[in-house]
Amino acid sequence: MAPVKIYGIKNCDTMKKAFTWLDTHNHAYDFHDYKKEGADLDVLKSAIAQHGWDTVINRKGTSWRALPDDVKDNMTEKSAIKAAMDNPSLIKRPLLVKGKTIHLGFTPDDYQKLFK
């Protein structure tokens, strides 16, 4: 089975928890670091198609709060893609691709179900 691909920022606390869970449960993964590689447009579009832009974009983080109010108030799918490509820190982390499934965020229970 091919390893999953996990997208995010290496020093993010939630990412560290996801890495620890994957390592502890012996699940191979490839890591895509937004800080070094930027966002992947195709994966971002797929995530938005599966979950909606308002779920893929982390609206609780400091990157969202730093956006001008008029940008936040008028966000659409198209502007969300542009904003996330310009600033991948806006994307909810981790974003995990397993086959055709894209999972957002991390909880041990969710990962346990995902890797059954």
Exposed/middle/buried for residue 36 (C-beta within 10 Å: 0-12, 13-18, 19+): exposed
pLDDT digits (tens, 9 = 90+) for 23-50: 999 999 999 999 999 999 999 999 999 9
* Catalytic residue chosen out of the listed positions 4, 12, 84, 102: 12
Q: 4-114 maps to which CATH number?
A: 3.40.30.10
Tens of pLDDT, residue by residue over 2-28, are: 689 999 999 999 999 999 999 999 999
Examine the residue annotation and report whether 51 is marked as an active-site residue of this protein: no
Q: Sketch the domain layout of the chain as residue ranges.
A: 4-114
Chain segment 49-103, per-residue pLDDT in tens: 999 999 999 999 999 999 999 999 999 999 999 999 999 999 999 999 999 999 9
**Global confidence as pTM:** 0.93
Determine which helix (DSSP H) or strand (DSSP E) holds 27, and give its type and residue range: none
